Chains A and B, each alone.
Chain A
Amino acid sequence: MVKFLFQRTIGMAITMFFVSIMVFVIMELPPGDYAERWAFRKFSGTGAQITEADLDNIRANFGLDRPAPERYFKWISGIVLHGDFGEAFAFQTSVNNVIGQKIWLTLAILFSTLIVTYLVAIPVGIYAAIRRGSAEDYALTVFSYLGFALPNFLLALVLLYVSITVFDSSVGGLFSPEYADAPWSIAKAKDLLGHLIIPAIILAWSATAFQLQTVRATMLDELNNLSVTAARARGVPEWKLLLKYPARLAINPVVSTMSFDANRIFSELPIVALVLGLPELGELLLKSYLDLDMFVAGAILLILTFMIVFMNFLSDIFLAILDPRVKLIEG
């Protein structure tokens, strides 16, 4: 197990190294350079005249006159060694300050979404497989189709519209107005939990549709497995048999694709966050892309990807616990 963990940790580090290069490339992509955007943001409206010399100064300050590999090295070593993600010009402060506690809110959203997804997809998928061909199964298939077809942000809009026109209250945001700027307290945490449900359901929408189908398909495969018939031939009661044999195995593909779910959720997060007004990383990422505040964008992209890679790591461990065959392959 120690060797297994060690191998996976190294693998994670290597993946993150390549990811960081890709992220750096993306940060470098926008036309014009960072110094111009920084200066524009800082001095616009102040009436100050910026000369080419000023810009060169700024470039030298930020090290922008250095070749790209050197800049990459400086950037990544700042992150790895000091946890310093650079400066966010749009906010005139460090990226760390901007991101700060939003990481925790993002994680809270990620996990609540995953929980909603699995709480729905696993039992319902199992049920649909057992009742294959029934009206419920058919209805669930239709629901899954809709899950693929109706993007989460449109669902968010629909829900918002319904909540406002029918219930006359908004479902957006992560906090009630009275808690938004209040210091953390138990009441605020409760308020957060209450507000998390709606975004979690919206973000879980398509992930649930996908996983439901995966669970159903695996379950159908497993139901046809001889080991199920063998257990039935031993006189094991039907419900116990279904839970112990096929259902147990139907969870495996879900566990092994946890990182894909995280990927899907983070994909949809920025847009859903925009619609619902959620103050977390996705929304910030979108804003910084629009402002071309690439240090912030790069940092967030890196953090989100790291969370996905880490989820992958977790799912590998869970899978090794769940399925004794996995260890053998690792040898």
Chain B
Amino acid sequence: MTPTDLSPKETQAPINQMESEEAQRYYSATQFQLIWWRFRKHRLAQVGAIILITMAVIGLFAEFFGPYTGTTRVSDAVLVRPQAPQFCNDDGCTLRPFIPGVISERNPETLRMETKIDPSVRRDIYFFVEGEEYKLLGKFKTNIHFFGLKEGSIHLFGTDSLGRDIFSRVLLATRTSLSIGIFGVVIAFVLALVIGGVAGYFGGGLDYAIQRLTEIVRVIPVIPLYMGLAAAFPKEWSSTQVYFAMTLVLALVGWPTLARRIRGKLLSLRGEDYVIAANLAGAGPSRIIGRHLLPAFMSYIIVDLVISFPFMLLSETALSFVGLGLRPPTVSWGVLLQDAQTVRAIEQAPWLFIPAIFVVVAVLSFTVLGDGLRDAADPYQVSG
């Protein structure tokens, strides 16, 4: 729609006589500085990044942030409702947060155990309290938890039907789900990079064969394919084995899409004038790849990594949800959601659905972050 004499090239700033310091800085800015400046304009993407970093930190130190280990059963607290910390009750307000006491009694009609709030009891929340022993980062033995009660138990997200603290379990699941996503993406990426790179750089018959292969993998519906592979895990495998097998499966099915994108990008880059110029300057393949293709490629790789994540997360969640993925005692978001498979379960204890919120928030964060990065990734293209 823009008339010819307002094309982007002309509106790009050429050097003028007067040069502000800002302009100087812009002119000698590297690729990643430019990307960073552009990224800083994307508020939403930054929010996404912050959420993800928070999730990663919390996941990494799940045992510290959660008041209980994931397997602890508080037997008299089955299906406890989530408890929100308060600052005020009938006796007035304090600076220290607390939760009201809980009494559990059997309902005389349904004969189920039910919990009730006892506003007369006040249980103060303390920070850095001693609790169950665990190994921080799998190495350092300690029993300090970020918060907890001196007596009684606290369940921010309630408990499940076995009386386990959902809050603590969600934190552990965050670690599992994010890490399986990371491993899955990384392995898929290495595969895609090698295969797509070979196809894109050398072209010809090899490229053709790889193209056809990826096409075939891509027509089979993804999740059923995952399921088929996951169904083959022997029942006697340990949860660790299943965990690693899952990452492999995710990667194996995930690479064709990535390989295709990498190949396409490489092919178009290879035809760029400046790459031809490097060729004509006498640069060998290693220099062309190292100095020209890879730097141009890096930002796309990062963007692609980020936008592949949600797919891995959702696949893992879906598979574990139906029992074909990770298995207890490993906890992931999908495993936790198994408890919420039926409407009856949710009706009885809606808080079992809380892990879904984490899934959604994580995927949303990855999506907006990916969008922001994609916009920022090519600072040399003037956006319309």
The answer to whether B228 touches A267, judged by C-beta atoms less than 8 angstroms apart, is: no
Q: Look across to chain B and name the residue whose beta carbon is closest to the beta carbon of A228.
A: B1
Q: Is the CB of B318 within 8 A of A15?
A: no
A127 at the interface (CB under 8 A from B): no
Pick the residue among A15, A30, A154, A292 that contacts B360 (CB under 8 A). A154
Closest CB-CB distance, A78 to chain B, in whole Å?
20
**Those of A251-290 within 8 Å (CB) of chain B:** 259, 263, 266-271, 274-275, 282, 285-286, 289-290
Chain B interface residue count, CB cutoff 8 Å, equals: 46
Q: Which residue of B lies closest to A260 (CB)?
A: B218
The reply to whether A304 and B367 contact each other, CB–CB distance below 8 Å, is no
Question: Shortest beta-carbon distance, B213 to chain A, in Å?
Answer: 8
Q: Which of A49-57, A236-244, A305-313, A314-322 contacts B (4 or more CB under 8 A)?
A: A305-313
**Inside 8 A of A226's CB, which chain B residues have their CB?**
1
Residues in chain A near residue B230, CB distance under 8 A: 289
Please name all residues of chain A whose beta carbon is closer than 8 Å to the beta carbon of B364 when the two chains form the complex.
145-146, 148-149
Interface residue ranges of A27-75 to B (CB < 8 Å): 29-31
Q: Is A115 an interface residue (CB 8 A)?
A: no
By beta carbon, the residue of chain A nearest B227 is A289
User: Is chain A's binding surface mostly helix, strand, loop or mixed?
Assistant: helix
**Mask for B310-345, Cβ within 8 A of A = 1, else 0?**
100010011001111000000000000100110100
**B282 sits at the interface (CB 8 A):** no
Bound: A293/B69 CA distance, A: 38
| B289 beta carbon closer than 8 Å to chain A | no
Binds A, one of B98-106, B290-298, B346-354, B373-381: B346-354
A31 to B, closest residue via Cβ = B234
In the complex, how many angstroms separate the beta carbon of A306 from the nearest chain B beta carbon?
9
* Nearest CB of chain B from residue A250's CB, rounded to whole Å: 16
Identify which of residues 1-16 in chain B touch chain A, using a CB-to-CB cut-off of 8 Å.
1-2
Whether B224 and A22, one on each chain, are in contact in the complex, defined by CB atoms closer than 8 angstroms, is no
Task: Tell me which of A19, A170, A290, A300 contacts B324 (CB under 8 A).
Answer: A290
Q: A19-B220, A228-B1, A266-B221 are in contact. Are A145 and B229 (CB under 8 A)?
A: no
User: B191-229 vs A: 1/0 string, CB under 8 Å?
Assistant: 000000000000000000000100111111111110111
- Complex CA gap A274/B340 in Å reads 13
A5 at the B interface (CB under 8 A)? no
Residues of A within 8 A of B215 (CB): 15
Residues of chain A within 8 A of B361, CB atoms compared: 149
* 21 CB < 8 A contacts A-B: A15-B216, A18-B216, A22-B217, A26-B229, A26-B232, A29-B228, A30-B232, A31-B232, A157-B340, A161-B350, A161-B353, A229-B1, A263-B221, A266-B224, A269-B221, A270-B223, A270-B322, A271-B318, A274-B322, A290-B231, A308-B221
